[in-house]
Amino acid sequence: MNPDLSKLQPYPFEKLAQLKAAVTPPAGLPHIALSIGEPQHPSPAFVQQAMIDNISRLENYPTTKGLPELSSTIAHWLQRRFNLQTIDPVTQVIPVNGTREAIFAFTQAAVDRSQPDALVVSPNPFYQIYEGAAYLAGATPYFLPCLAANNFHPDYKAVPADVWERCQLLFLCSPGNPTGAVLSFEQFAELIELADRHNFILASDECYSEIYVDGKEAPMGLLEACARLGRHDYKNCVVFHSLSKRSNLPGLRSGFIAGDAALLKPFLLYRTYHGCAMPLQTQLASIAAWNDEQHVVENRELYTQKFRAVIDILSPVLPVQQTDASFYLWVETPINEETFAQQLFAQQNVTVLPGSYLSRTVNDINPGKNRVRMALVAGVDECIEAAQRIRAFVESL
């Protein structure tokens, strides 16, 4: 077996299950899960209908590149959403089976494993796929802390020059998971210049780009920053997007990668061997989802209601702040984060995720220490009840 498998850590939810197994929640309170980022809003009925209407396409093999209609739909959505002058659906877009699969696979294709000191640089805390993909590609992850003092962004200027020289791939996550922090145009521009200078790839995970509170600006994306700089070839840059959060379709496993055609061409070759073509009925349902914005607006309205209600309830007892985007609250806890999560479950039957499970300790600093991630994915009433229970728990400490 691949010896690098031994470097993989348990997934955060495996650690959480072990933490919860040591206690028993009150039987009289129904469980409310704020731990996993799985949207609980209904999936759009018209997308379900598109799947039903095209179920006979099960008889056909899909191609790895997917239907031209899907790539064109995605390209048009990117142009509308991110103010792009142009993006070629043939060479600059590839549909994928959700971003987890694509992020992992792209890393395998992008890393030059002949370089023994190759680094994949990642924010910390982070989506755990970044780490696993780096190890299994033969690279070493290098973590950059996202701390409150820097508005939960990495301090890229503090990174040693030799790290950038060894860096082959830099993961961005904007809006951030779990912090919700959003990169500005100026920050994107600095990172693009850095990638040019040191010849590495910028891979921007933008799965939460469509979830932001009403009244706030829609988050900028990496390709949008490229376009503002006149870089319409998107050199060294790729983005990942998904229907999971935008359209409440985590089970559809549908998203895309877009950007530099020179990077996507060899990645498509890799995917041809990878055996990961999206089923045709899924592609046709995805076209319906990307073509509609009304359900996305309604989705944001629900998250806005939840954020405002939950923050109003929790702010008297916890230092909770509205994040820039995403559906997470990244909350500082008055006690150790594991103890907080375990005892909250034991006393109130509410599950949150310890921040340290999403982070790694580097130089004695773990950015998730004394923090928990709350995913406001349940219904409005459930989120309000969860907030009331969390407040009662905090007041009992």
CA–CA distance, 135 with 199 (Å, rounded to integer): 21
Q: Which residues contact 174 (CB under 8 A, 6 or more apart)?
A: 181, 182, 183, 204, 205, 206, 209, 219, 220, 221, 222
Question: What letter does residue 4 receive in the DSSP assignment?
Answer: G
pLDDT in tens, the chain (397 residues): 999 999 999 999 999 999 999 999 999 999 999 999 999 999 999 999 999 999 999 999 999 999 999 999 999 999 999 999 999 999 999 999 999 999 999 999 999 999 989 999 999 999 999 999 999 999 999 999 999 999 999 999 999 999 999 999 999 999 999 999 999 999 999 999 999 999 999 999 999 999 998 778 899 999 999 999 999 999 999 999 999 999 999 999 999 999 999 999 999 999 999 888 999 999 999 999 999 999 999 999 999 999 999 999 999 999 998 888 999 999 999 999 999 999 999 999 999 999 999 999 999 999 999 999 999 999 999 999 999 999 999 999 9
Domain boundaries, the chain: 3-42+295-396, 59-292
Give the DSSP letter string of 123-158. Answer: EES--THHHHHHHHTT-EEEEEE--GGGTTS--GGG
- Tell me the β-bridge partners of 146: none
User: Distance between CA 281 and CA 133 in Å, rounded?
Assistant: 29
DSSP codes joined into one string, 16-77: HHHHHHTS---TTS--EE-SS----SPPPHHHHHHHHHTGGGGGSPPPSS--HHHHHHHHHH
Q: In whole angstroms, what is the distance from residue 184 CA to residue 347 CA?
A: 41
Total H helices, total E strands in the chain? 14, 12
Q: Six-digit token pair at 394?
A: 């905090």
3-state DSSP helix/strand/coil % of the chain, to nearest 5: 45, 15, 40
CATH class of 59-292: alpha beta
Asked if residue 137 lies in contact with residue 113, where contact means CB atoms within 8 angstroms, the answer is yes
Residues 304-328 as b or e (16 or more Cβ within 10 Å = b): bbbbebbbebbeeebebeebbbbbb
DSSP one-letter code for 335: S
Helix H or strand E segment including 119: strand 119-124
Res 213: pLDDT: 87
Provide the 3-class DSSP secondary structure of residue 220: coil
Q: Taking the model in full, what pTM does it have? A: 0.96
Domain 3-42+295-396 - what CATH class?
alpha beta
Given a contact cutoff of 8 angstroms between Cβ atoms, the answer to whether 254 and 282 are in contact is yes
Q: Which residues partner with 373 through β-bridges?
A: 330, 353
Strand-pair partners of 13: none
Query: What one-character DSSP code corresponds to residue 362?
Result: B
Query: Which helix or strand (DSSP H or E) is residue 387 part of?
Result: helix 380-396
- CA 304 to chain centroid: 19
Q: Given strand 119-124, what is the order of strands in its sheet?
A: 93-96, 255-259, 237-242, 201-205, 167-173, 119-124, 140-145
- Give the Cα separation of 44 and 254 in Å (integer): 14
Distance CA 28, CA 274 (A): 48
What's the CA gap between 324 and 213, in Å, rounded?
8
DSSP 252: G
**Is the omega angle on the peptide bond into residue 319 within 30 degrees of 0, that is, cis?**
no
As given in the structure block, the two tokens for residue 113 are 């494993």
pLDDT value at residue 397: 94
